[in-house]
Structure 1
Amino acid sequence: MAENLLQAPILDPQEIIKLIPQKPPFVMVDSLHDYTDLTGITGFMVPKDNILVDEDGIFSEPGLIEHMAQSMSLHRGYQGYSSGLKKPKTGFIGAIKSVEIFRLPNVGEQLTTHVEILNEVMKVTLVTAKTLDENGLVIATSEMKTVTVD
């Protein structure tokens, strides 16, 4: 396993926003706990006012998928920041190969997501994501292709 290259976790949501192209109210990550060249661990405390939380206080399927994609975006953003980029590159989900959602989280739950880059060709990255709840139980997994556009 590669060594974590972060000197300390990034826990300030304002610092996280500088590392991703997404802006409020569409931010689905709030911390970066671990970073290597091919892996990352992100966090997200589901807020009540999140745009993808339903009226019952449940973080929706699209919210969970977007959280996993933004976890990859955060990894990519930190990588760019580390190499001297002034602003994060824009990207999007190009294809979702698989998504399994075992449980939807509630408002106030702390999510931890592990991302891993499996392959990268040109500007297309194949990545897996695994999201865990506060008890360490896997609540969702995905494999998707992300595309960087600038």
Structure 2
Amino acid sequence: MEQNLLIEPILDPQRIIQLIPQKPPFVMVDSLFEYTALTGKTGFAIPVDNILVEEGFLSEAGLIEHMAQSMSLHRGYQGFLSGLDKPKTGFIGAIKTIEIRSLPKAATKLVTNVEILKEIMGVTLVVAETVDENGKVVATSEMKTVTVE
């Protein structure tokens, strides 16, 4: 297992926003707990007024976006470590699999683990698993993300 390269978790929402290309109100991550070259652990306390909360629950689109932004946050921290001034833009290129087991209630704290399986020419194959504050798996996915200059 690779060593966590974070000295301490990043919990400041303003610092997180500096590491991702997304901006409010479309930010779906608020913390970075662990970082290695190939893995990351992010967090998100779902605001009740989040743009993707519907009828008190984070929507399917919100969960997918949270998983994608978890990868984006990993990429952003990687860029920060290599001296980039601002994060590169990325997007979901394809979703190979997605399993949404439940929609989390607003105010729930999510933790997502991302792992890079393969990377070639700006396309990254990544798996993600999101759990709620009780450790219950909420969603899993395997997607390709594309990073552009």
TM-score range relative to shorter protein: over 0.9
The CA deviation string for residues 13-61 of structure 1, in whole angstroms up to 9 with x for no partner, is: 000000000000000000000000000000000001110001x211000
**SS at structure 2 position matched to 1:16:** helix
1:21 corresponds to: 21
Matched residue type, 1:101: I
Inter-partner Cα distance in structure 2 for 1:11 and 1:44: 10
Identity of aligned residues (%): 72
**Distance in 1 of aligned mates of 2:88 and 2:148:** 7
Structure with a larger share of its residues in strand: 2
Which amino acid is 1:146 matched to? T
Counterpart residue type for residue 46 of structure 2: V
CA distance in 2, matches of 1:38, 1:101: 24
Is 1:141 equivalent to 2:140 in the alignment?
A: yes
Q: Is residue 2:47 matched to residue 1:47?
A: yes
> TM-score w.r.t. structure 2 length?
0.99
Give the letter aligned to residue 57 of structure 1: G
Q: Give secondary structure in 2 for the equivalent of 1:93.
A: strand
Q: How many residues align?
A: 149
Q: In structure 2, what is the equivalent of residue 84 of structure 1?
A: 83
Secondary structure in 1 matching 2:66: helix
Per the normalisation by structure 1, the TM-score is 0.99
Q: Equivalent residue for 1:30?
A: 30
- State how 1:84-123 maps to structure 2 within 5 Å: 84-123=83-122
